[in-house]
Amino acid sequence: MTSTSKRERKRAIAHRPLPLGPGLVARVIDCDDAILVHIAGILAGYDNLGSMHGDGSLVAVITTQSQANGLDEVLASLQRTGLAFRVRRLDAISPEAAD
């Protein structure tokens, strides 16, 4: 069985197209698998706040621009509770990144 390093998983998701379109934004979350399960459970409690895409410890949460502030607030609140994870905002995709 081949082991995939965290760096290889990050590279794979970075090159996987995200389902972004007009009016959509993404928050890429990088954390341990156990923390991701906790975050996913919390986000599931919020109807239509966002949808998770990816696998392993690096996922993207896709949401609408109008819901982005709410998602950011929930993620910031979870970080304040001591959960260790990083969030990268993808509010717009440049033409270079889309290639």
User: Within a domain: residue 10?
Assistant: no
Burial of 67 (0-12, 13-18, 19+ CB in 10 A): middle
User: Within a domain: residue 73?
Assistant: yes
Contacts of 81 (CB under 8 A, 6+ apart): none
Domain coverage including residue 60: 34-90
Number of separate domains in the chain: 1
User: Within a domain: residue 26?
Assistant: no
Residue 48: what pLDDT? 81
CA angle 86, 17, 28 (to 5 degrees): 10
Amino acid at 55: D
Give the pLDDT band of residue 25 (cuts 50, 70, 90). very high
> Residues 43-91: pLDDT tens digits?
989 888 998 888 777 899 999 999 999 999 999 999 999 999 999 998 7
Contacts of 33 (CB under 8 A, 6+ apart): 56, 57
